[in-house]
Structure 1
Amino acid sequence: MVKVVRVTRRTIASVILVALVAVLGAGAPRGAAAPDDERAWLAAGRIPGAGTPHRAMAERALLDLRLLTRPDGAALASWRKEWRYVWPRDAAFAAVAFQAAEHPREAGLILDFLARVQPADGRWAARYREDGSPVEDGRPPQGDAPGWPLWAAWLQHRAGPPDADRWRMVQRAADRLAGSLDRAGLPPPSSDYWERKPRTEQEPDLPTLGVAAPALLGLRSAAALARETGRPVPARRWQAAACRLAAAIDRRFAPHGYPRSPVPGGRMDTSVTFLAPPYAPRDERVTAAVERAARRLALPNGGVLPGERWAGDRKTAWTPEMGLFALAAAAGGQPAVAGARLDWLSAHRTPQGSLPEKVDARGRPRSVAPLGWTAALVVLTLAEAERPLPVPSARCAR
């Protein structure tokens, strides 16, 4: 006798949900931390956003960052094969998020990993395996990579002065950035967080804002760290380089409204947020550009694209970009805007509560989850509302 099973909409939805969980969670480690261990670890630090509707998202984001950070400090982007690598950029954001949540041990482990894998020339490879070996797949070093660890190192040193290895990392990266500036004060063209070849940009012979702005942040951070640890000579050298770069950005990008490439009619891009707080002092011109970019990149599903005329799926939103805009709003004194963006991120998490990389046109999580960069940005946005991050000095000699 054949048993007839009635298939309902609820049954179909359940099957889809199970499949979605399986795909998004693929590659996650087995035997995750026990609930008691997780609670004890969270209690040892602080949970940004406690007392707000976003507390649960903050807890899950912190726990996901902890799971993605291996015992040797390798902060993975996510679990699936194509993302199971350490990008210096993403790792630096994870370190800053741990520091903001008062988990300096994890922040220090990440910086120690970055110090170990950094080559003598100060540049990091585009990405690394868990064992610290660079991934040699033809991707050149990304020009924004040195800036982010310098920022993380400056913020972390307040928990204790940098040891010899971390200071050597700072020296190498900051000297590399300072030495790379051309006569006009700009770094060379390079791929950035888009991981796209320079020849595809509107102005192939000049760096994108996604390269120039993190370089500025890195030089200012390195100079601040040097000053605060009693090293005036490199502090002056790196601050002078930062001032040259800031002037170049003001000449080349500001007249066009801070687009991705410094050309008339340049396309707006999320990297304009890298010139705003908490990375740089508030500038009304930058604030206006950030708001303009957020409007131009907005999608009907409530999310945003990374940039105008995006070469990929133009209906799918990216959560790191929404996180960057949320952090810019929180640091820029727009709590309601930041809250709305956090609401959108919270509403589009996976069934386990993790933040995915993308959200499709129908509002469904896509690609991988958790994504470490988005998790870090959520933690930082909530932390910024309670205890703003310090901003490295932008003072220049006149």
Structure 2
Amino acid sequence: MTRRGVRVRRIGAFLLAGALAATCGAGVLPDAGTPSWASPGLVGGGGWPYAGVPLPPEDAAGASYIPGSSVVRLAHGRARLVPFGGETAVTLDASDPRVLTAVRSDRAWLASGRVPAGFPDMASRALLDLRLLTGAQGASLASWFGAWRYAWPRDSAFAAAAFTVTGHPQEALRILRFMAGVQAPSGLWAARYRPDGSPVLDGRSPQLDSVGWMLWAAWLFQRSDPSGTELWPMVRRGADRLAASLRRDGLPPPSGDYWERDPGTEQDPDDPTLGVAGPVLAGLRSAAAFAAGTGHAAQAAAWRTAAGRVADAIGTRFAPLGYPRSPVRGGAMDTSVTFVAPPFAPADPFVAAAVATAARRQALPNGGVLPGERWPGDPSVAWTPETALFALSDAASGRRDAAVAQLGWLASHRTSLGALPEKVDPGGRQAAVAPLGWTASLAVLALSALERPLPVPG
């Protein structure tokens, strides 16, 4: 995504930043004169199909969500919501029966699953926002704002995982079905999709990390819900593609990853980043476990062998260097070191040390983190998905105090309505779109990991 601050900037100021695309999709610029972040959150109404409409910033002062819902209580006491079956927000008297109906519906949905403790307000808001970002057909949007109003396979996988671990299987399966429906016969996905399922043809190549993440999410769902067996064709295509892609050294080929940039710009353009190798390993292990659990022994064995090759290659190429982003001596650290740690891989003390090193080197004075060392974007703006990834890694690895500290920072840097933004500026203010689905998913997963261990593919 583009690098932007809180204040309005004109398109010319963004041209360089747009080229430095990163997490959750890259580089779509706002129209000149458009406020950078026009809303502190989404208004919903509890009805199906779920619909979210941004609250205008001029209405945000003194506004808050009615607890446990996506209905906004405005400063003057009236309520704003999206009526059942509608797509446009309306302002109603607080006594209007539609207000109570919407609040009860949202609360009933939350109660049908589990809201992780620890930071329950952040957890419930994140879950409600994820629901508003997930359309009837299963497209889980990165956010509501134009440049983010697309479904990235990577983000969608984490949204499905968050719904899975909190007991909302219908939403999880809806996302996974959508992604299965748009998967190419080759097993790959486009970089991103419109809500109707059409790929965005903007020159971005398919990214192998997305395949790994989708396989991980499918396995996580299938192990908790028998209906996940219907995802077998998607898993088979994806895992076969990953296994066939491996080079003689056991690593996958170079590909874009969560930084969303051309592999040719990396420190080692001829090798994959850890942001690709880690998800590929997690995906193959997950696919093998999925196959073993659904009676496909031959595929399970083949993918387990492929996963072993990737694990050996990571151990040979990345581990001796301290798990940097690229396998080069003195390579920059980045958040992808968490991809080879729990809950995506078994615990390893050397990986744990590398996670701590990366978190320290990427830390900013405002308490958040950059996506990585030598980050090409604004070096003073913290990214919430990366902060949440460290929180998830800490929570899943038993480092409770560190996880709580990271989650506390996220909780204290939400918007005025409590939504999790993509970025936070040096002064602690929202510096990008909110809510961001990937951060919401990661926060939910981290909070869940604090309560009960998350399964690890292996």
TM, length-normalised to structure 2:
0.79
Q: How does 1:163-242 map to 2 (within 5 A)?
A: 163-164=229-230, 166-242=231-307
For residues 130 and 301 of structure 1, the distance between their equivalents in structure 2, rounded to whole angstroms, comes to 35
Find 1:47's aligned residue among 115, 118, 130: 115
CA distance, structure 1, for counterparts of residue 198 and residue 353 of structure 2: 42
- SS of the residue corresponding to residue 123 of structure 1 reads coil
Seq. identity, %: 62
1:39 counterpart SS class: helix
2:42 and 2:163 map into 1 onto residues whose CA distance is 25
In structure 2, the residue matched to 1:10 is none
Partner of 2:53: 29
Question: Which residue of the other structure, out of 93, 115, 128, is the alignment partner of 2:180?
Answer: 115
Deviations 1:223-256 (A, max 9, x none): 0010011110000000000000000000000010
Question: Residues 190 and 211 of structure 1 are in contact (CA less than 8 Å); yes or no, is this contact kept in structure 2?
Answer: yes
Matches within 5 A, 1:351-366: 351-366=416-431
Aligned equivalents of 1:90 and 1:233: distance in 2? 30
When the two structures are aligned, how many residues end up with a matched partner? 371
Which runs of 5 or more structure 2 residues have no equivalent in the other structure?
1-34, 44-51, 55-80, 84-101
Whole-Å Cα distance in 2 between the matches of residues 271 and 180 of structure 1?
A: 20
Q: 1:56 aligned to 2:121?
A: yes
User: Residue 147 of structure 1: SS of its match in structure 2?
Assistant: helix
User: Which residue among 292, 301, 308 is the counterpart of 2:366?
Assistant: 301
Task: Evaluate the alpha carbon distance shift between residue 229 and residue 145 of structure 1 in structure 2; reply closer, same or farther with a 3 A threshold.
Answer: same
Q: Does 1:98 align with 2:166?
A: no
2:110 maps to a residue whose letter is: L
Secondary structure at 1:45 match in 2: coil
Flag the structure with higher helix content.
Answer: 1
Counterpart contact for 1:331–1:388, Cα < 8 Å: yes
Mark the runs of 5 or more structure 1 residues left unpaired by the alignment. Answer: 1-18, 394-398
What is the rounded CA distance, in whole Å, between the counterparts of 1:113 and 1:32 in structure 2? Answer: 24
RMSD: 1.4
Kindly provide the amino acid, as one letter, of the partner of residue 363 in structure 1: G
SS at match of 1:187: coil
The 1-side partners of 2:245 and 2:253 are apart by: 7
The answer to whether the 8 Å contact 1:117/1:132 transfers is: yes
Say if 2:143 and 2:435, in contact at 8 Å, map to a contact too: yes
For residues 117-164 of structure 1, the C-alpha deviation after alignment (integer angstroms, 9 at most, x for no partner) is 000000100000000000000111112010011011111112114344
AA in 2 matched with 1:45: G
Partner letter of residue 272 of structure 2? Answer: P
Which residue pairs with 1:15 in the alignment?
Answer: none
Q: Distance in 2 between matches of 1:131 and 1:113?
A: 10
Is 1:249 the counterpart of 2:314? The answer is: yes
Deviation by residue 1:150-199 (Cα, 9 ceiling, x = unmatched) = 011111112114344x1110000000000000000010001100001011
2:197 pairs with 132, 138, 141, which one? 132
Aligned residue in 2 for 1:87 = 152
Q: Note the alpha carbon deviations across 1:245-289, whole angstroms, 9 max, x for none.
A: 000000000010000000000000000000000111100010000
Does the 8 Å CA contact 1:21/1:350 hold for their aligned counterparts? no
Residue of 197, 200, 216 corresponding to 1:151: 216
**Counterpart position of 2:226:** 160
8 Å CA contact 1:68, 1:76 repeated in 2: yes
Letter in 1 for 2:226: G
Distance in 1 of aligned mates of 2:455 and 2:39: 39
Residue 233 of structure 1 aligns to a residue whose secondary structure is helix
2:434 to 352, 366, 369: 369
CA–CA separation in structure 1 for the residues paired with 2:367 and 2:37? 23
Aligned to 1:315: 380
Instruction: Kindly indicate whether the alpha-carbon contact (under 8 Å) linking 2:395 and 2:449 is maintained by their aligned counterparts in 1.
Output: yes
> Which residue of structure 2 lines up, in the alignment, with residue 325 of structure 1?
390
**Aligned with 1:258: secondary structure?**
coil
Question: Structure 1: how far apart are the matches of 2:82 and 2:234?
Answer: 32
- Contact 2:37/2:433, CA 8 A, preserved across alignment: no
Q: In the alignment, is the contact (CA less than 8 A) between 1:324 and 1:377 conserved in 2?
A: yes
Q: What's the CA shift for 1:389?
A: 1.2
For residue 412 of structure 2, what is the amino acid of its counterpart? A
1:25 Cα offset (Å): 4.4
Summarize the Cα distance change of 1:20–1:348 in structure 2 as closer, same or farther, 3 Å threshold.
farther
Q: CA deviation at 1:22?
A: 3.6
**CA contact 2:252–2:277 (8 Å) conserved in 1:** yes
- Name the SS for the 1:190 alignment partner: coil
Deviations 1:46-88 (A, max 9, x none): 1011xx3x11000000000000000111000000000000000
Q: Could you state the TM-score of these two structures normalised by the residue count of structure 1? A: 0.91
